[in-house]
Amino acid sequence: MTPHEILHRVFGHAEFRGPQEQIISDVIAGRDCLAIMPTGAGKSLCYQVPALVRPGTALVISPLIALMEDQVQALHTQGVRAGTLNSQSTDGGQVWRDFVDGQFDLLYVSPERALSDGFGQMVQRTEIALIAIDEAHCVSQWGHDFRPEYRRLKPFCDSLPGVPRIALTATADRETRADIALQLGIASDRITLSGFDRPNIRYDVVGRDTLHRQLLAFMAGQAGRAGIIYAPTRAATEKICDWLVEAGYRARPYHAGLEAGIRSRHQADFVKSEDMVMCATIAFGMGINKPDVRFVVHAGLPKSIESYYQETGRAGRDGDPAVAHLIWGGEDVARLRGFIAAGDGSDAHKANEARRMNALIAFLETAGCRRQELLRYFGETAPATCGNCDNCLNPPTLLDATEAARKLLSAVYRTGQRFGTGHLIEVLGGKATEKVQKFGHDRSSVFGIGKDWPADQWKSLARQLEAIDALERDPQHGGLVLGPAARPILKGEVAINLKQVEPRRAAKASSSAAGADVAPQDRALFDELRSLRRQLAADAGVPPYIVFADATLRAMAARRPQSMADMARIPGVGAVKLESWGPAFLAAITASAA
């Protein structure tokens, strides 16, 4: 079959998207490629289609066991012969035999298994169609998830002359892209960059005030949706999960401190659910191929702008609307700076990490379009406004906060550079609390000089001053001290602008994203089809999205196919899925019209 025939018959799609067709043509022709494509843009098809065209077995090297198993499961439902070899494989002997006998179109392997002596000898005696290296940013020391074993993949690929190699990742800045190509032996003119924009994701950033209240306010608008909440520590993960469960949400914790069996069970529950919230550390998510995640919340700062892009990219992989919501505080900035300073990397590595952190801070601070700030980091230009971030949807009012910044910095200095934001706000606001009086700060020259500003505004200013290094956290007692950028502000040499803190608004409940584009007359049928999908998925032991995506169900509800031939024309309905599940959905559609 031709690539277009495979795309339609196996995967149920009518047309390739973006650079897919050119990449696929290159790989089929035996040319190497490094593909930088955003999550949800269809990277997997770039090696899956050539694997079904070229003779032999395609090797897919991935560090993510959960993703391997998910991909293999999905391929089986589409009639593709696929297997996996990793440290958790229970049928390794049979997989080996099937591989040698040429029974696989694709074999997913971990880098450790691929680099073992036995596997290296085996592939020399087996016809290999291509080598796909997924999560290719892991090869670069500049990448946000560097894995040393990836550096040994070039000799492995070189041992199979004539076999094309395709490396894929969603996240790599210019420096990282060049390093990936160098480390994997891919020519610099063989890099395909399809863009980083995820227009379906809405980016929101808020300063942390009361995390419990803020999270529940956000969740009030996400009822019935699946999402991920990232927390900076295991303890915070457990606490947030408890908050959600107490509020009536289905939630599970996930972190490295849990037993492996519990983590696996929670992950499986999340993948199969349509409304569960996973409260997790960054240990979760990289290997999850769940396309219907509707929101990702950061209850603290990720370690870099690349990590932020990667983690938020787990939302809306199906192309439907999704939200990336970030809640941050000044102490998060101090924590990141501390991690970089305490790291054992070289000075050059630490400088690069600091550059990435500063790019994240610029994203937090901007009063302009957040998408533009994010894409600028990856070397892309974007319109001045995107219409789908908090700043574009509700343009902020800027205040000249230069004098207020000088007052806050003076209060830090006059009170001995040992107190937190809350105490400083009480002093500035002229509140003679017991603590303020105990330290004599009610007699300080800065007592009451900030009465004209609300506490929320002072908190926002303190966060910004920490972000720009005008304030720092003392590592011993956690109080605020003057940072290197404080002096020019105090001397009036630097102006400080601050976004006006808006009054708190109650979150509005929003309709399910799954049905966001469903016409009113089709909604009842759409809901019936989702219920049927849930039942069939449970019977087959697969997540609902593997049966059919929401977009496919929306198309069924709108077009109402009357025959199997009509059903075959619905996007996402391949030949095997049509045979397996087409009759049940066709019967449901017919019954709805009776």
Which pLDDT tens digit goes with each residue over 62-86? 887 777 888 898 999 999 999 998 7
Render pLDDT for 202-230 as a digit per residue (tens, 0 to 9).
999 999 989 999 999 999 999 889 999 99
Which residues lie closer than 8 Å to 130 by C-beta, 6 or more apart? Answer: 27, 47, 50, 51, 54, 58, 59, 163, 164, 165, 166
The pLDDT score that the predictor gives to residue 401 is 92
Q: What mean pLDDT is reported for the chain?
A: 89
Of the candidates 555, 437, 456, the one whose C-alpha atom is nearest the C-alpha of residue 503 is 456
Q: Where are the alpha helices (DSSP H) in 115-152?
A: 117-123
The pLDDT score that the predictor gives to residue 87 is 66
The pLDDT score that the predictor gives to residue 97 is 87
The pLDDT score that the predictor gives to residue 151 is 87
Residue 356: pLDDT band with limits 50, 70, 90: confident
Residue scoring higher pLDDT (454 or 86): 454
Rounded distance between C-alpha atoms, residue 116 and residue 55, angstroms: 24
Rounded distance between C-alpha atoms, residue 533 and residue 544, angstroms: 6
Q: Which residues pair with 132 in a beta bridge?
A: 60, 166
Rounded distance between C-alpha atoms, residue 12 and residue 25, angstroms: 19
Rounded distance between C-alpha atoms, residue 555 and residue 575, angstroms: 17
Rounded distance between C-alpha atoms, residue 207 and residue 464, angstroms: 10
What is each CA distance from 138 to 148, 149, 178, in whole angstroms?
8, 9, 13
Residue 466 has pLDDT above 60, yes or no: yes
Of the candidates 144, 226, 146, 157, the one whose C-alpha atom is nearest the C-alpha of residue 185 is 157
Rounded distance between C-alpha atoms, residue 348 and residue 351, angstroms: 5
> pTM here?
0.82
Give the chain's radius of gyration (CA, Å): 27
Residue 405 has pLDDT above 50, yes or no: yes
The pLDDT score that the predictor gives to residue 141 is 67
Domains of the chain plus CATH, in order, are 3-193 (3.40.50.300), 201-393 (3.40.50.300), 398-499 (1.10.10.10), 517-593 (1.10.150.80)
Residue scoring higher pLDDT (156 or 357): 156
